[in-house]
Structure 1
Amino acid sequence: MSEKFVVIATDKMSLSGLVALTEDDRFEILVPDGEEEMREALGRAHGLIVRSATKVTRELLEQAPNLRVVGRAGVGVDNIDLGVATEFGIPVINAPEGNTVSAAELAMALILTVARNISWADASVQGGAWARSQFSGIEIRGKTLGLVGAGRIGAEVALRAQAFGMETIAHDPYLTEERAKELRIERVELGDVIARGDVISLHVPLTPQTEGMIGEAELKAMKSTAILVNTARGGVVDEGALIAALKSGEIAAAALDVYETEPLPEDSPLRGVQNLVLTPHLGASTAEAQELVSNEIALGVSAALLEGDLSKALNAPAIGGEELEFLRPLMDLAHKVGRVAGALGRGGMRKADISVAGLDDEILSPLTAAAMTGVLTPVLGARNVNYVNALHLATGRG
């Protein structure tokens, strides 16, 4: 294209990490200051990069008629309405790898802080006391670390905990036996992690399945000496149940970096609980992590806009790289066949059956999306249906 792709960078993002975009003449980077500049920028934008502060809502997307991709510089997409983005046909990508080490190091820092009473001892000394006997802690050597989630971050936490001499067990339905052996982690059920863990560390996304997964029953099943650490997502832990468990002595202590509501309200009952350490969502708050996630998301946005690479898309069949090059002619063909079918059945089509033979099952999803794009184009128009929203629109039409 002759004109440049316009990409908005929000949330005080460092441009030094966006070199894949800033040093490419095919892109124009906008850093809007204030609501008025943001509205003007959205009217031109092809790409939008956010951290956690900007809320990508229906109202925002309605102001961005040319938007082709939303990039989240980080892992969680709680601030992005994926359903609405899909409805608008806008792929959402994230940067899941850049903050891995920073998040793992924070988890270990919180484990050690609680085990050795560091934050409480510091507050005591800063207040003028010298009460050594009040802050006797525990060694983590020989203790069992129970991981809930053993993906990138959980695996890095396990590696560091093992260096301290901890035994590591984990519940993760996606953890294979081969990978567990490689990580020297024992695969167990969630109930075993809860019952056996001296330290229980959470590393799962917030989904309908994980919301409130650590509640009253799970806390009652923990050891009375257990330490609970959550650097994953607020909402995974039932905060009311946690407060009750800490005050009653059902568990020894906890540390939270994430909350159901962020920023944490000033009147939150979590504040002031004596055996609870609180930090303000610092998982990715290192200079290194911010540079890495910025670079990762810049590369992802560039690939999406220049090549149509959606291998990092969270709301569309993920294809990119060599697989995209292989599939592109097949997807073009599927789109054309679908368009012919849509034209022939216009006005009376109730169902579309899509069959593929002689190809791997994993490419059925992208070919189905391409074919359905063709089917719906005569009905909805080319501007209103694409690879991202075709299946969503088809489902919505029955």
Structure 2
Amino acid sequence: MSVQIAVIDDWQNVARGVVDWSPLEAVGRVHFLHDYPADTATMIERLKAFTVICVMRERSTFDQALLQGLPNLKLLVTGGMRNAAIDIAAAKALGIQVCGTDSYKQAAPELTWALIMASTRNLLAEANSLRAGGWQAGLGGDLHGKTLGVLGLGSIGQKVAQFAQVFGMRVLAWSENLTPEHAVQAGATWVSKRELFEQADILTIHLVLSDRSRGLVDAEVLSWMKPTARLVNTARGPIVDEQALVQALTTGRLAGAALDVYAEEPLPVDHPFRHLPNVLATPHVGYVSEQNYRQFYEQMIEDIQAWAKGAPIRVLG
């Protein structure tokens, strides 16, 4: 059998070189597509020939309408073991197998701290000043002795909290299911939601996107924060009410934000986050690291091989 396999969402054109895809030659032919997501009709035209599609986590949306338009599709493989952009129930009903991969657990915490440090020390403005022929542009902020608020103390939030202790920061945490005992185990102190936002000098978000977390950081919550505080989001864009955040940043209600995720990705060209001077914005690169991609793609190959042998692994749903 010669199965047509598509590797899509490869926006940086790196998938081909990160791992060795030759083991799939026994299964079929691999095609690398570098287009951004498009409307359903365009996506159907682009993908209708493929039996297997490898997707990067939460880039292209595979909803019921798209899945129904791909009658040849039998296997959908995603980076990570969770992908809110795939309608797994619809896939199952259509007889499409969905499989995932493990992920490198250090990538997101490391980027979170890169953003915290760069934003606090005003590194973007300083680096741009230097490139433009200038020298010192202003005063950087400090972390030692300050308070880090961690919204969501799961596996990523715990690592971020541990890093904070190295910097000599006080660490507070809250989420709906967090207990004081669990917070202490991670080196944090449990506080109420309001206390978290009121006391944090840096507020960093590490929640899973769900109906409960969508829009959780709204205008009211932002109004609780100190005007000197900074908001960091490397989790998911829709957790934050973007218009409320733009308003807080524009009016000086909030000192700054460091963001890697957005309600719409890629971020629209005219979005204020691309231009506001107190925003450090990166293009959702929290998981875009060499080690993470290698793990994603190596395990995607394993998933396809196992499926071809009739014994799927890392099945979702």
Q: Which amino acid aligns with 2:62?
A: V
Q: Does the 8 Å CA contact 1:91/1:310 hold for their aligned counterparts?
A: no
Q: Which amino acid aligns with 1:61?
A: L
The structure 2 residue matched to 1:106, chosen from 104, 107, 111, is: 111
Aligned residues: 307
Shift of 1:171: 2.0
Residues 148-187 of structure 1, C-alpha deviation per residue, up to 9 Å, x if partnerless? 1222222222222222122222223455666534321223
- 1:48 maps to 53
Provide the C-alpha distance between the structure 1 equivalents of 2:16 and 2:27, rounded to a whole number of angstroms.
13
The structure 1 residue matched to 2:263, chosen from 260, 263, 268, is: 260
Provide the C-alpha distance between the structure 1 equivalents of 2:46 and 2:271, rounded to a whole number of angstroms.
37
Shift of 1:144: 1.6
- 1:10 maps to 8
Q: Does the 8 Å CA contact 2:107/2:287 hold for their aligned counterparts?
A: yes
Provide the C-alpha distance between the structure 1 equivalents of 2:109 and 2:122, rounded to a whole number of angstroms.
20
- 2:234 maps to 231
The structure 2 residue matched to 1:278, chosen from 278, 281, 294, is: 281
Does residue 124 of structure 2 align to residue 119 of structure 1? yes
Does residue 183 of structure 2 align to residue 180 of structure 1? yes
Residues 233-263 of structure 1, C-alpha deviation per residue, up to 9 Å, x if partnerless? 1111111111111122222111111111112
Q: Does the 8 Å CA contact 1:146/1:200 hold for their aligned counterparts?
A: yes
Counterpart mapping for 1:214-229 below 5 A:
214-229=217-232
Q: Which amino acid aligns with 2:67?
A: L
Counterpart mapping for 1:20-59 below 5 A:
22-23=22-23, 27-31=27-31, 42-43=48-49, 45=51, 47-51=52-56, 52-59=58-65
Q: Does the 8 Å CA contact 2:101/2:314 hold for their aligned counterparts?
A: no
Q: Which amino acid aligns with 2:91?
A: A
Q: Which amino acid aligns with 1:230?
A: N
Residues 196-247 of structure 1, C-alpha deviation per residue, up to 9 Å, x if partnerless? 2111111123222211111100000011221100111111111111111112
Counterpart mapping for 1:1-398 below 5 A:
3=1, 7-12=5-10, 14-15=15-16, 22-23=22-23, 27-31=27-31, 42-43=48-49, 45=51, 47-51=52-56, 52-74=58-80, 77-95=83-101, 97-98=103-104, 100-130=105-135, 132=136, 134-175=137-178, 179-303=182-306, 306=309, 308-309=311-312, 311-313=314-316, 316=317
Q: Does the 8 Å CA contact 1:97/1:152 hold for their aligned counterparts?
A: no
Q: Does the 8 Å CA contact 1:69/1:305 hold for their aligned counterparts?
A: no
Distance 1:107 1:196, change over 3 A: same
Q: SS in structure 1 opposite 2:245?
A: helix
Q: Does the 8 Å CA contact 2:213/2:239 hold for their aligned counterparts?
A: yes
Q: Which amino acid aligns with 2:139?
A: S
Shift of 1:113: 0.8
Distance 1:251 1:54, change over 3 A: closer
Distance 1:76 1:309, change over 3 A: closer
Q: Which amino acid aligns with 1:212?
A: G
Distance 1:91 1:211, change over 3 A: farther
Q: Does the 8 Å CA contact 2:24/2:305 hold for their aligned counterparts?
A: no
Bigger radius of gyration among the two: 1
Please list every run of 5 or more consecutive structure 2 residues that lacks an aligned counterpart in the other structure. 36-41
Q: Which amino acid aligns with 2:222?
A: L
Q: Does the 8 Å CA contact 1:9/1:29 hold for their aligned counterparts?
A: no
- 2:38 maps to none
Provide the C-alpha distance between the structure 2 equivalents of 1:262 and 1:34, rounded to a whole number of angstroms.
15
Q: Report sequence identity in percent.
A: 30
Q: Does the 8 Å CA contact 1:16/1:291 hold for their aligned counterparts?
A: no
Q: Which amino acid aligns with 1:67?
A: L
Q: SS in structure 1 opposite 2:117?
A: helix
Q: SS in structure 2 opposite 1:244?
A: helix
- 1:368 maps to none
Q: SS in structure 2 opposite 1:135?
A: coil
Shift of 1:61: 2.4
Q: Does the 8 Å CA contact 1:54/1:79 hold for their aligned counterparts?
A: yes
The alignment yields a C-alpha RMSD, in angstroms, of: 3.2
Q: Does the 8 Å CA contact 1:68/1:305 hold for their aligned counterparts?
A: no
Provide the C-alpha distance between the structure 1 equivalents of 2:63 and 2:313, rounded to a whole number of angstroms.
21
Provide the C-alpha distance between the structure 1 equivalents of 2:193 and 2:184, rounded to a whole number of angstroms.
18
Q: Does the 8 Å CA contact 1:17/1:292 hold for their aligned counterparts?
A: no
Provide the C-alpha distance between the structure 2 equivalents of 1:204 and 1:144, rounded to a whole number of angstroms.
19
Q: SS in structure 2 opposite 1:31?
A: strand
Give the TM-score normalised by the residue count of structure 1.
0.67
Q: By percentage of residues, which structure has more helix?
A: 1
Q: Does the 8 Å CA contact 1:103/1:153 hold for their aligned counterparts?
A: yes
Q: Does the 8 Å CA contact 1:108/1:157 hold for their aligned counterparts?
A: yes
